[in-house]
Structure 1
Amino acid sequence: MTHYDVLVVGGGTSGMMAAISAAEHGATVGLVEKNKFVGRKLLVTGNGRCNVTNNRDKEEIITHIPGNGRFLYSAFYQYDNYDIMDFFQSRGIKLKEEDHGRMFPITDKSRTIVNALTQIMEESKVDVHTNAPVETVLYRDGAVNGVKLMDGRVLYAHSVILSTGGRAMPKTGSTGDGYKWAKKAGHTIKELYPTEVPITSEEPFIQDRTLQGISLRDVDLKVINKKGKQAISHRMDMIFTHFGISGPAVLRCSMFVLQTMKRDKTDHAVMSLDSLPDETPGSLKQTIERLMKKEGEKSMKNTMKQFGPERYILFGLEQAGIDSERAFKTLTPKEIDALITFLKDFRFNVHGSLPIEKAFVTGGGVHTKEVNPKTLESKLMQNLYFTGEILDYNGYTGGYNITGAFITGRLAGMHAAQTALSMKTAD
């Protein structure tokens, strides 16, 4: 019969950190992973470069976790992003900072991080069981006492940590298994939804692929609710696709698109695209009037191409009902206003997102009111802990979700070890 102090279910980012943390706090630790190897999702994060955390202060990191980030406050006061950097750097893994505070291993390879975590688990004598899918988690008398594997083996433990991830990116093994075991323990699962996901649109210009493949750099993208108020705004890059829109600005707006549609009880949300956020309508008007005097003989399309990619500008001229071959000086005041509106506030409808399987992150999950934010222990089932994406919090891409995963893993491991060791003493 195998018995551990702490058993971790799931060998992803938060699971590996939980196992290491529990072992460092003196527990005997087992980790079960259904894939052939650990860290599968970690290998593909940051385009295979692994954005390990973000170099911003706690407050700013929490604002970048728009889905329930407040739940992580007390966790951040015990272990934070600087501790994560220390954890790797003290083990000889050099990190470098890129735009928006994103931290990467200097090797630019996720494999560096996965190998480091694997090696630390080995040194900490964590028993890693790969190819070991769990059939169910065992509960008895209001406490967890182990897991039963699909092959019939039973592993007992004083504390069990569920680090099974969400339902985004199922190819990496995140198929939502943990939710049913949390439910079995009496937990509420907040409705799951995709976040950090491309957005779909049924607009004619999307359906007929007029703008497909056009990338716009450093634009300001907003989600507008039915009262005409802005739900969120993000300034980053984006791209038009055959189904809608994608790219960093879009991924960040996606959660707000779905929430706005739900709140407004409508089948669409409105997006506003400002392709020249550093210009004001007034400065644009002055530029256009100056060009009419200086380059008035040139055609509309030749003069306007300085304001964006040619196909995007031709589309704008068409939207404003202006012939692209006309001389630029023939613009009427009304047409000038129409062009400025297109460049500064092009509005179009969006109708949802790609499915959760295509998302980078899962929204929803185990209700955080039922979990102790200081220890990550279940309030409903003794000695059961949760880490990472199974919990109902979600952040933007850019090192925020992974920061949450490392921090919740670290704390759950520590507190699960302390609980298990105090139980052993009591025995």
Structure 2
Amino acid sequence: MYQTIVIGGGPSGIMAAISASQNKQSVLLIEKKKGLGRKLKISGGGRCNVTNNLPYAEIIQNIPGNGKFLYSPFSLFDNQSIIEFFESRGLKLKEEDHGRMFPITDKSQDVLDILIAEMKKQQVVVIENSPVTSVDFSDGSYTVKLDDGKTHHAKTVVIATGGTSVPHTGSTGDGYQFAKSFGHTITDLFPTEVPIKSNEPFIKSQTLKGLSLKDVGLSVLRKNGKKRITHQMDMLFTHFGISGPAALRCSQFIYKEQQQQKRQDIQMQLDAFPSMNEEQLKQKIISLLKEQPDKIIKNALKGLIESRYLHFIIEQANIDLETTYHHLSMQQINQLAHLFKAFTFTVNGTLPLEKAFVTGGGVSIKEIVPTTMSSKLQDGLFLCGEVLDIHGYTGGYNITSALVTGYVAGYYAGQFEPITT
């Protein structure tokens, strides 16, 4: 009989096992695939963005999917605790833009090695390559059955099976079934941090395919044309739509607008010059054209923005690329400035969940005690990580949520004593 069985060997599960075993408690970690931390190894392009150094309020802001839930767990273990955890074990971290923290070695394997070494030190028993088929509770203890028929018993269980994104790493939604079997509600699952699809003629003709725009404002529009969300970052045009950081961050809002508007097609807007207003941009265009009034417009405005996008917007404004300043009307210049600031196009969804970096939705947080990560429906059951309905943007926010909720779940699972009648 173990004190705790942790199901899932990702960052949240490993941290739960470490935390549960710190008072010499007996802990078993079960991973369905061969090798632990498979998703962790590929995160941050193989460098592993292990947490974020921003203040709580900003971290929560970057976790639009129920981030406020994390205020309670943060009181026991937070982003600073994560930094301290790795640095005190010999892995120095470095800070990059937007507070992103990486191992100084730029190797995700080094992050994983420390987590695995800590589990070994605390004598956590690890079983790999063993899918769990069922979790049952009777007479005050849990029975976890594996697909080879073997069973293991514990006072507490931590479900840390991840979501359904990046399924080749082993996260295929098993945890939702285990949680459901104890009466938990699973909210709608949807892809987040995923590229966006469009059937616009300029996408189908691949006019802008492979073009990257730096530091643009990309917005998802509501039915009334107002902006629901805007992200100012880089973006990329692809053969099926748009990608890059700004598009990935907008993706969950495409899904949400589709639900709200009850239709597939959603409008997006691209502001190529977010640091200027339309009037300032118009004056800049006029002054560039006036400097070389005899040059054709596509050459006179060269350098204003990437050439392909410049030519594209000139054509969208129904202006001949070969025309000169003398032949332009003020209305055409106004239209050009307007399109640079508010090019509106239609998208029709995102790539599927298995192509997403992060799963939106999951076990309803209304059924979880935020201070302990325990189930409100079942004594001795704890849940953590991406199996919960918590999701953030990329930038160290999801892994922060995974490690924090994992630590808290393990801490209380390790101390839990069933009430015997």
Give the CA deviation at 1:144.
Answer: 5.4
Code of the residue aligned with 2:156 in structure 1: it is S
Deviations 1:167-201 (A, max 9, x none): 00001111001111111111111010000110001
Partner of 1:313: 310
* Unaligned ranges ≥5, structure 2: none
Contact 2:3 2:414 in 1 (8 A): yes
Q: Which moved more, 1:230-239 or 1:298-307?
A: 298-307
Give the CA deviation at 1:423.
Answer: 4.2
Q: Which moved more, 1:17-26 or 1:106-115?
A: 17-26
Contact 2:159 2:175 in 1 (8 A): yes
- Whether 2:180 is the aligned partner of 1:183: answer yes
Give the CA deviation at 1:24.
Answer: 0.9
Match of 1:209 among 201, 206, 210: 206
Q: Which moved more, 1:306-315 or 1:148-157?
A: 306-315
Partner of 1:115: 113
Code of the residue aligned with 2:367 in structure 1: it is E
Q: Percent sequence identity over matched residues? A: 52
Q: So what's the TM-score if we normalise by structure 2?
A: 0.98
Partner of 1:342: 339
Give the CA deviation at 1:135.
Answer: 1.1
Moved >3 Å (runs of 4+):
none
Partner of 2:383: 386
For 2:4 and 2:78, the matched residues in 1 are separated by: 23
For 1:119 and 1:144, the matched residues in 2 are separated by: 29
Partner of 1:95: 93
For 2:93 and 2:215, the matched residues in 1 are separated by: 26
Give the CA deviation at 1:282.
Answer: 1.6
Partner of 2:79: 81
For 2:159 and 2:213, the matched residues in 1 are separated by: 41
Code of the residue aligned with 1:39 in structure 2: it is G
Partner of 1:298: 295
Partner of 2:124: 126
Partner of 1:15: 13
Give the CA deviation at 1:326.
Answer: 1.3
Partner of 1:361: 358
Code of the residue aligned with 2:135 in structure 1: it is V
Q: Secondary structure at the match of 2:102?
A: strand
Deviations 1:7-46 (A, max 9, x none): 1000001000000001113311000001111000000000
Give the CA deviation at 1:305.
Answer: 2.3
Partner of 1:29: 27
Q: So what's the TM-score if we normalise by structure 1?
A: 0.97
For 2:157 and 2:217, the matched residues in 1 are separated by: 45
Match of 2:262 among 265, 280, 287: 265
For 1:119 and 1:284, the matched residues in 2 are separated by: 56
Aligned Cα RMSD in Å? 1.3
Give the CA deviation at 1:291.
Answer: 2.3
Q: Secondary structure at the match of 1:24?
A: coil
Contact 1:26 1:417 in 2 (8 A): no
Contact 1:144 1:160 in 2 (8 A): no
Match of 2:321 among 319, 324, 332: 324
Partner of 1:192: 189
For 1:118 and 1:310, the matched residues in 2 are separated by: 50
Code of the residue aligned with 2:249 in structure 1: it is R
Partner of 1:138: 136
For 1:92 and 1:396, the matched residues in 2 are separated by: 28
For 2:203 and 2:285, the matched residues in 1 are separated by: 28
For 1:83 and 1:329, the matched residues in 2 are separated by: 64
For 1:195 and 1:290, the matched residues in 2 are separated by: 42
Code of the residue aligned with 2:409 in structure 1: it is A
Q: Secondary structure at the match of 2:188?
A: strand
For 1:289 and 1:315, the matched residues in 2 are separated by: 19
Q: Which moved more, 1:174-183 or 1:326-335?
A: 326-335
- Whether 2:396 is the aligned partner of 1:399: answer yes
For 2:169 and 2:141, the matched residues in 1 are separated by: 27
Match of 1:375 among 372, 377, 383: 372
Match of 1:285 among 282, 287, 291: 282
Partner of 2:65: 67
Q: Secondary structure at the match of 2:224?
A: coil
Q: Which moved more, 1:365-374 or 1:395-404?
A: 365-374
Partner of 1:44: 42
For 2:326 and 2:82, the matched residues in 1 are separated by: 59
For 1:12 and 1:117, the matched residues in 2 are separated by: 10
Partner of 2:253: 256
Q: Secondary structure at the match of 1:365?
A: coil
Contact 2:93 2:104 in 1 (8 A): yes
Code of the residue aligned with 2:119 in structure 1: it is M
For 1:183 and 1:318, the matched residues in 2 are separated by: 54
Contact 1:376 1:412 in 2 (8 A): yes
For 2:292 and 2:326, the matched residues in 1 are separated by: 8
Contact 2:380 2:418 in 1 (8 A): no
* Unaligned ranges ≥5, structure 1: none
Deviations 1:353-407 (A, max 9, x none): 0000000000011011111111111111110110100001100000000000000
Partner of 2:52: 54
Code of the residue aligned with 1:229 in structure 2: it is K
Match of 2:163 among 153, 156, 166: 166
Contact 2:47 2:108 in 1 (8 A): yes
**CA 1:362–1:291: 2 relative to 1, 3 Å:** same
Partner of 1:275: 272
For 1:414 and 1:366, the matched residues in 2 are separated by: 20
For 1:11 and 1:40, the matched residues in 2 are separated by: 8
Matches within 5 A, 1:150-161: 150-161=147-158
For 1:245 and 1:35, the matched residues in 2 are separated by: 33
Q: Paired residues, what number?
A: 421
For 1:4 and 1:65, the matched residues in 2 are separated by: 34
Code of the residue aligned with 1:59 in structure 2: it is A
